[in-house]
């Protein structure tokens, strides 16, 4: 294993613990609008995978349909990708990860893709706790179909055309906690540090990670009156805590004051360190998580941070008690029972 | 349904009916060639009794078939079970009922009125059904008294009563007691106490009939040797077995009649035979949130390299449309069992039909077409399940198996299934070593001239292994495109791939003598009725017919040759709109089209030979 700690004397290219460079994690050139929040998220995914030393060939990238769902093309070009149908990425991801549970799955969705057409599949994905990093690139509108409201638009939010949203927003984070996701957080595409830490922790988690990332649509929803604009989010963001993440292979300890941090040991031995900003916030308490989310909504604030984490509940794959090798490539003698089994069954039907 | 002459008798007084059978004129003895219909109330537990009847006849060596004609209801509505014994081996439904067992007070009158003259009826004496028909042999039986005598526990009497009719029927038609006892003991193999109770009930019915009823109908069973070594199984269990031996690893479903038992049986088999010694499963089963998710999981799993399947029926097929188009265009393997039932919409969920042909053939928007297989027996449900997995991976596309309720949920005689002789064929998959040698690959390129491209599986440890799968426009490298030439190139290859499939799917079965001018084309569960109808046409009308049984879509060359070789072609199918005829029309040269005629039935009951014969005779003008 290559070490990242020694300072290179010659300007040899920087590599991660696998000896891979950051460029090895890039994808195709983006075709999204310049300044689109989705692009920033792709960059953070690249950084997180690189820093965590994940081999790109071990990743499955999946998405539904939308501007957001296009983004898997723009990161990790060496990973198999699947741009599926609108709102149905969870089922494709479920099938793929059952076929090969040794892969790291990352799914990118939009707020339309998740909270409207895909709400049913979203709910059941959370409930199953499939090991998948599920990211909502949340801009409050349907970007790809040119700016109609989505179901995460806040009440009173205004479209460029002047149309005002009258319906309450679906709180995808509160829903995810309620439905059984075991890692739920919200971040902002413009908050490099927080988003990167969250993504790194997400990679270490074994279960469904649901990250709602506010990601302004500069073309259709970044104006005065939009509650998903860069300006509004910067002004109304309230973080419940700073997110620090120490991978299990990293021996540098982060100097958090133990009295003010919440330390969660992850499945693989990593540590998620959450600095408490909100008095007494306990990220392992589901009720507290939903309460904090609801209260922030009342106050008109956008709460960010890791709201809920359960590092113990078995994942969907664990609960199915699957053979350790990928089902996809089990040899014939493992999947076709011998002749005597057929004989036995035929005998029973004589 | 009534074919017999209906003779309404004067209602007799309650006490007027004698215990002995009334007796219309006795005709010639009919041996091993008649049908029994049991009319009961859904949920009354008659299934075991009917199964005992069926298996007893089977173990006497007589070819037999059983059909459950049940309502979409859990308990309370009328339900019928028909058993047909046929020394000729005809196993299609017989339209006429010869022996009725009327246990349902609500339908008793109607059941009685629908009988042909000369048939026999066994019924609870309180129903007094004799009043409706003088031309039917009547056997009134005091079921409640007989049941009470053998079953002290009042709660169980409703169930045990069914076994009493088994005994009565057995005595009257000549099922030997030995066969009956063996069947009862097998039915309750795990519950010896229940076995004793039920056996006593059979004996009570048998003894009552022997002492108090006088045999006056012509229907008799006599032992034969025609079922030796044969099995009895339903099509859905057979399909499940095929899937297991095909090496399925990811199974998804959303319950729907009549497909649920495919997966329910499969789960049973997998738990028993596909768990490693350390308790680890070599399969995953997911009950999905709906059919969209079920098929999405199938395609995701197929993409990642698993042998994946789901089972559904018409409403589920409709929901799967968008995803199946993705499967076609992005070239993803997966197997979808469609156990057809009566549509449109919810239709008649517990009745049978061949009504999904057109919607499956072209499921989804844009230019799409799909491979489907058409099993016509339980043995083919098993074989085609195995075949479907190989085809799906070889062709890299969703493959459908179109069974139906009649085939899937009813019990059929069959020779035992054969262990697969061919090894599992996983199609064109490039490994790390292949990529080392080739340096890279283009996902949607026709390398071999058969229009089937190569794929890699996620997780292949090579930096050039990855490609991007999408339902949006793509070129042969899998890259996004909106260019006309690149888009068309892929679409044209897909059309050629479909032509390749013609030579890979199961070829039709042909029965021809080379002289006949009339050809019949049929498929699936219609086969039983069509075979019998061909004999009827020959015997009753001197009409010799050739027969082609379709076994898959797209059609192979033999179909065109068969049509070309005949003057008139009758396409026999179970739907209103002649769906198979439409598919044939799209495929055949224009000069052949005027030969095509249609015989259709779409009432939801399993097809019977008489309906086919009548339809053909009318059009032939003979
Ligand atoms: C079945 C179906 N209906 C409608 C569409 C059209 N459509 C494409 S993207 C989209 C909305 C995307 O919104 P969102 O998920 O928020 O993604 P964004 O573009 O905002 O990133 C819609 C309605 C579609 N592709 N498929
Ligand atoms: S339209 Fe909006 S969401 Fe789509 S790419 Fe442009 S900025 Fe991003
Ligand atoms: Mg959006």
B294-312 confidence digits (pLDDT tens): 999 999 999 999 999 999 9
Whether residue B419 is contained in a domain is answered as no
Average pLDDT of span B196-214: 97
pLDDT at A246: 83
Question: Residue B453: which of B465, B444, B441 has the closest Cα?
Answer: B444
Distance between CA atoms of residues B363 and B326, nearest Å:
11
Average pLDDT of span B21-30: 66
Give, for ligand 2, the residue of A30, A31, A35, A36 to mutate: max count of ligand atoms closer than 8 Å to Cβ: A36
Return phi, psi of residue B523, to 5°. -165, 165
Is the CB–ligand 1 distance for residue A180 below 6 Å?
Answer: no
B270-293 in b/e burial notation, b at 16+ Cβ within 10 A?
A: beebbeeeeeebbbbbbebbbbbb
Helix (H) or strand (E) holding B319: helix B314-319
Same domain, B492 and B520: no
For chain B, say whether A117 makes contact (Cβ under 8 Å).
no
Whether residue B421 is contained in a domain is answered as no
pLDDT for residue A27 is more than 70 = yes
Return phi, psi of residue B157, to 5°. -60, -35
Contact indicator for B147, B161 with CB cutoff of 8 Å = yes
pLDDT for residue B20 is more than 50 = no
pTM listed for this prediction: 0.94
Judged by CB atoms closer than 8 Å, whether chains meet at B458 and A345 is answered as no
Per the prediction, chain A carries an average pLDDT of: 92
Cβ neighbors of B498 (< 8 A, separation 6 or more) are: B369, B371, B554
Whether residue A90 is contained in a domain is answered as yes
pLDDT for residue A191 is more than 90 = yes
pLDDT band at B74 (very low <50, low <70, confident <90, very high): confident
Q: B414, B443, B458 — which closes off a domain?
A: B414
Give, for ligand 2, the residue of A30, A37, A38 to mutate: max count of ligand atoms closer than 8 Å to Cβ: A38
Same domain, B276 and B318: yes
Same domain, B202 and B60: yes
Same domain, B525 and B609: yes
Cis upstream peptide for B344 (omega within 30°)? yes
Question: Residue B551: which of B368, B390, B392, B403 has the closest Cα?
Answer: B403
Same domain, B262 and B368: yes
Whether residue A21 is contained in a domain is answered as no
B249-268 confidence digits (pLDDT tens): 999 999 999 999 999 999 99
Residues of B in contact with A320 (CB under 8 A): 281, 284
Dihedral, B54, B56, B59, B63 alpha carbons, nearest 10: -40
pLDDT for residue A3 is more than 70 = no
Question: Residue B378: which of B202, B487, B266, B232 has the closest Cα?
Answer: B232
| CATH for B612 | 3.40.50.920
Helix (H) or strand (E) holding A138: strand A132-138
Is the CB–ligand 2 distance for residue A61 below 6 Å?
Answer: no
Contact indicator for B21, B99 with CB cutoff of 8 Å = no
Whether residue A110 is contained in a domain is answered as yes
Question: Residue B383: which of B485, B194, B243 has the closest Cα?
Answer: B243
Same domain, B583 and B610: yes
| CATH for A101 | 3.40.50.970
Please, which residues 52-91 of chain A have a Cβ atom closer than 8 Å to chain B?
56-58, 60, 62, 72-73, 77-85, 88, 90-91
Same domain, B242 and B311: yes
Q: B414, B441, B472 — which closes off a domain?
A: B414
Whether residue A4 is contained in a domain is answered as no
For chain B, say whether A326 makes contact (Cβ under 8 Å).
yes
Question: Residue B603: which of B615, B620, B617 has the closest Cα?
Answer: B615
Average pLDDT of span B182-204: 95
Q: Which residues pair with B400 in a beta bridge?
A: B336, B372
pLDDT for residue A2 is more than 60 = no
Q: How, if at all, do strands A59-63 and A80-83 pair?
A: parallel
Please, which residues 438-497 of chain B have a Cβ atom closer than 8 Å to chain A?
456-463, 465-472, 480
For chain A, say whether B293 makes contact (Cβ under 8 Å).
yes
SS3 assignment, position A5: coil
% of chain B exceeding 70 in pLDDT: 96
Judged by CB atoms closer than 8 Å, whether chains meet at B420 and A336 is answered as yes
The position carrying tokens 């016509």 is B376
Same domain, B376 and B246: yes
SS3 assignment, position A276: strand
For chain A, say whether B230 makes contact (Cβ under 8 Å).
yes
Q: B485, B502, B519 — which closes off a domain?
A: B502
pLDDT band at B515 (very low <50, low <70, confident <90, very high): confident
A257-278 confidence digits (pLDDT tens): 656 678 888 888 888 888 766 7
Give, for ligand 1, the residue of A36, A109, A138, A145 to mutate: max count of ligand atoms closer than 8 Å to Cβ: A145
pLDDT at B375: 98
Whether residue B290 is contained in a domain is answered as yes
Judged by CB atoms closer than 8 Å, whether chains meet at B230 and A121 is answered as no
% of chain B exceeding 90 in pLDDT: 93
Whether residue B8 is contained in a domain is answered as no
B136-168 confidence digits (pLDDT tens): 999 999 999 999 999 999 999 999 999 999 999
pLDDT band at A251 (very low <50, low <70, confident <90, very high): low
| CATH for B380 | 3.40.50.970
pLDDT band at B10 (very low <50, low <70, confident <90, very high): very low
Return phi, psi of residue A323, to 5°. -60, 150
pLDDT at A249: 79
B527 versus B8: the higher-pLDDT residue is: B527
Q: Name the residue of chain A whose CA is nearest to B273's CA.
A: A337
Distance from the Cα of A341 to chain B's closest Cα (Å) equals 8
The 8-class DSSP code of residue B275 comes to: B
Return phi, psi of residue B109, to 5°. -65, -50
pLDDT at B11: 36
Same domain, B377 and B452: no
Q: How, if at all, do strands B308-312 and A80-83 pair?
A: unpaired
Torsion B333-B334-B335-B341 (CA) sign: negative
pLDDT for residue B39 is more than 90 = yes
Question: Residue B49: which of B241, B194, B262 has the closest Cα?
Answer: B194
Average pLDDT of span A298-314: 93
Question: Residue A211: which of A82, A122, A313 has the closest Cα?
Answer: A122
pLDDT at A321: 97
Q: Cβ atoms within 10 A of the Cβ of A50, count?
A: 23
Residues of A in contact with B301 (CB under 8 A): 95-96, 98-99, 328
Same domain, B247 and B192: no
Number of domains in chain A: 1
Q: Which residues pair with A272 in a beta bridge?
A: A245, A264
Ligand 1 centroid to A136 CA: how many Å?
A: 13
Atom of ligand 1 nearest to the CA of A150: 16
Average pLDDT of span B133-138: 96
Contact indicator for B493, B444 with CB cutoff of 8 Å = yes
- Rg of chain B's alpha carbons, rounded to an integer? 27
N-to-C CA span, chain B: 23
Instruction: Pick the residue whose CA is nearest to atom 6 on ligand 2.
Output: A33
Q: Name the residue of chain A whose CA is nearest to B479's CA.
A: A73
Q: How, if at all, do strands A148-149 and A141-142 pair?
A: antiparallel
From B18-32, B181-195, B351-365, B431-445, the region with the lowest mean pLDDT: B18-32
For chain A, say whether B258 makes contact (Cβ under 8 Å).
no
Q: Tokens at residue A328, please?
A: 């996809």
Distance between CA atoms of residues A185 and B434, nearest Å:
42
SS3 assignment, position A312: coil
Same domain, B145 and B263: no
Contact indicator for A66, A90 with CB cutoff of 8 Å = no
The 8-class DSSP code of residue B243 comes to: H
pLDDT for residue B8 is more than 50 = no
Domain that holds residue A118: 29-328
Helix (H) or strand (E) holding B170: helix B157-173
- State the alpha helices, DSSP H only, in B213-303: 235-246, 260-273, 291-303
Cβ-based burial of B89 (10 A; exposed 0-12, middle 13-18, buried ≥19): middle
Whether residue A350 is contained in a domain is answered as no
pLDDT for residue A109 is more than 80 = yes
Domain that holds residue B487: 432-502
B387-396 confidence digits (pLDDT tens): 999 999 999 9
Q: Tokens at residue B504, please?
A: 């890979």
Cβ-based burial of B14 (10 A; exposed 0-12, middle 13-18, buried ≥19): exposed
Distance between CA atoms of residues B283 and B304, nearest Å:
14
Same domain, B513 and B494: no
Average pLDDT of span B465-475: 98
pLDDT at B133: 96
Q: Name the residue of chain B whose CA is nearest to A330's CA.
A: B282
Whether residue B12 is contained in a domain is answered as no
Distance between CA atoms of residues A97 and B284, nearest Å:
11
Average pLDDT of span A6-15: 75
| CATH for B174 | 3.40.920.10
Whether residue B602 is contained in a domain is answered as yes
Dihedral, A137, A138, A140, A143 alpha carbons, nearest 10: -10
């Amino acid at each position: 294993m290559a070490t990242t700690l020694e300072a290179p004397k010659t300007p040899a290219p920087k590599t991660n613990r696998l000896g891979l460079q950051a460029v090895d994690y890039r994808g195709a050139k983006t075709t999204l609008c310049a300044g689109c929040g989705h692009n920033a998220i792709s960059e953070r995914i690249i950084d997180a995978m690189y820093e965590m030393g994940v081999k790109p060939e071990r990743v499955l990238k999946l998405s539904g349909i939308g501007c957001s769902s296009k983004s898997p093309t723009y990161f990790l070009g060496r990973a198999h990708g699947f741009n599926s149908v609108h709102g149905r990425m969870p089922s494709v991801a479920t099938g793929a990860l059952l076929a090969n549970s040794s892969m790291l799955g990352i799914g990118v969705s939009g707020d339309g893709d998740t909270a409207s057409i895909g709400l049913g599949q979203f709910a059941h994905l959370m409930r199953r706790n499939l090991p998948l990093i599920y990211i909502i690139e949340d801009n409050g509108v349907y970007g790809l179909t040119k700016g109609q409201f989505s179901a995460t638009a806040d009440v009173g939010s205004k479209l460029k055309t002047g149309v005002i949203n009258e319906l309450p927003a679906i709180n995808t984070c509160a829903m995810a906690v309620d439905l059984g996701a075991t890692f739920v957080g919200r971040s902002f595409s413009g908050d490099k540090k927080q988003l990167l830490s969250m993504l790194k922790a997400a990679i270490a988690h074994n279960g469904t990670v649901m990250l709602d990332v506010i990601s302004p649509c500069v073309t259709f929803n970044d104006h005065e009156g939009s509650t998903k604009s860069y300006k509004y989010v910067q002004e109304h963001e309230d973080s419940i805590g700073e997110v620090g993440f120490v991978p299990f292979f990293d021996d540098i300890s982060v100097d958090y004051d133990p009295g003010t941090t919440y330390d969660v040991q992850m499945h693989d031995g990593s540590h998620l360190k959450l600095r408490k900003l909100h008095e007494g916030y306990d990220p392992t308490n589901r009720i507290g998580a939903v309460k904090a989310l609801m209260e922030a909504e009342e106050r008109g604030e956008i709460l960010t941070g890791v709201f809920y984490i359960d590092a113990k509940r078995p994942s969907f794959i664990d609960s199915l008690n699957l053979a350790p090798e990928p089902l996809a490539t089990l040899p014939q003698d493992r999947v076709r029972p011998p002749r005597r089994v057929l004989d036995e069954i035929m005998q029973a039907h004589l | 349904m009534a074919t017999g002459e209906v003779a309404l008798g004067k209602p007799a007084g309650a006490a007027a009916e004698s215990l002995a059978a009334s007796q219309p004129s006795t005709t010639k003895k009919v041996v091993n060639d008649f049908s029994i219909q049991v009319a009961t109330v859904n949920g009354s537990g008659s299934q075991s009794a009917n199964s005992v009847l069926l298996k007893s006849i089977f173990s006497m060596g007589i070819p037999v078939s059983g059909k459950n004609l049940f309502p979409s209801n859990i308990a309370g509505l009328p339900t019928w079970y028909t058993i047909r014994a046929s020394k000729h081996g005809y196993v299609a439904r017989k339209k006429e009922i010869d022996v009725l067992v009327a246990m349902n007070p609500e339908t008793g009158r109607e059941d009685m009125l629908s009988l042909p003259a000369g048939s026999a009826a066994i019924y609870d004496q309180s129903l007094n059904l004799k009043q409706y028909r003088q031309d039917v042999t009547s056997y009134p039986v005091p079921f409640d008294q007989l049941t009470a005598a053998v079953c002290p526990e009042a709660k169980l009497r409703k169930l045990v009563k069914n076994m009493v009719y088994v005994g009565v029927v057995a005595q009257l038609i000549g099922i030997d007691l030995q066969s009956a006892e063996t069947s009862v003991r097998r039915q309750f193999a795990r519950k010896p106490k229940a076995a004793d109770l039920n056996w006593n009930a059979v004996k009570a019915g048998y003894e009552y009939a022997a002492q108090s009823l006088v045999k006056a109908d012509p229907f008799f069973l006599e032992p034969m040797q025609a079922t030796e070594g044969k099995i009895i199984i339903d099509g859905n269990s057979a399909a499940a077995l095929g899937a297991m031996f095909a090496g399925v690893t990811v199974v998804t479903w959303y319950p729907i009649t009549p497909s649920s038992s495919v997966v329910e049986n499969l789960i049973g088999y997998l738990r028993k035979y596909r768990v490693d010694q350390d308790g680890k499963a070599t399969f995953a089963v997911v009950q999905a949130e709906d059919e969209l998710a079920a098929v999405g999981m199938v395609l995701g799993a197929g993409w990642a390299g698993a042998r994946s399947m789901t089972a559904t029926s018409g409403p589920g097929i409709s929901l799967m449309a968008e995803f199946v188009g993705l499967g076609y265009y992005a070239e993803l393997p997966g197997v979808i069992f469609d156990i057809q039932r009566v549509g449109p919409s919810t239709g008649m969920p517990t009745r049978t039909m061949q009504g999904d042909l057109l919607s499956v053939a072209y499921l989804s928007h844009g230019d799409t077409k799909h491979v489907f297989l058409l099993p016509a027996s339980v043995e083919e449900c098993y074989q085609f399940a195995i075949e479907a997995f190989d085809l799906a991976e070889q062709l890299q596309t969703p493959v459908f198996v179109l069974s139906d309720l009649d085939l899937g949920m009813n019990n059929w005689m069959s020779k035992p299934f054969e262990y697969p002789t061919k090894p599992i064929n996983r199609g064109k998959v490039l490994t790390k070593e292949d990529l080392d040698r080739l340096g890279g690959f283009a996902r949607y390129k026709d390398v071999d001239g058969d229009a089937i491209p190569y794929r890699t599986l996620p997780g292949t440890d090579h930096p050039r292994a990855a490609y991007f799968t999408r339902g949006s426009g793509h070129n042969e490298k899998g890259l996004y495109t909106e260019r006309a030439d690149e888009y068309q190139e892929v679409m044209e290859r897909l059309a050629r791939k479909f032509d390749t499939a013609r030579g890979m799917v199961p070829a039709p079965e042909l029965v021809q003598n080379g002289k006949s001018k009339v050809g019949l084309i049929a498929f699936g569960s219609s086969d039983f009725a069509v075979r019998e109808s061909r004999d009827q046409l020959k015997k009753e009308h001197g009409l010799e017919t050739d027969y082609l049984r379709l076994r898959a879509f797209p059609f192979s060359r033999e179909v065109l040759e068969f049509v070309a070789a005949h003057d008139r072609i009758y396409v026999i199918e179970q739907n209103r709109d002649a769906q198979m005829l439409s598919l044939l029309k799209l495929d055949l040269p224009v000069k052949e089209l005027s030969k095509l005629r249609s015989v259709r039935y779409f009432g939801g009951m399993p097809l019977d030979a008489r309906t086919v014969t009548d339809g053909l005779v009318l059009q032939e003008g003979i």
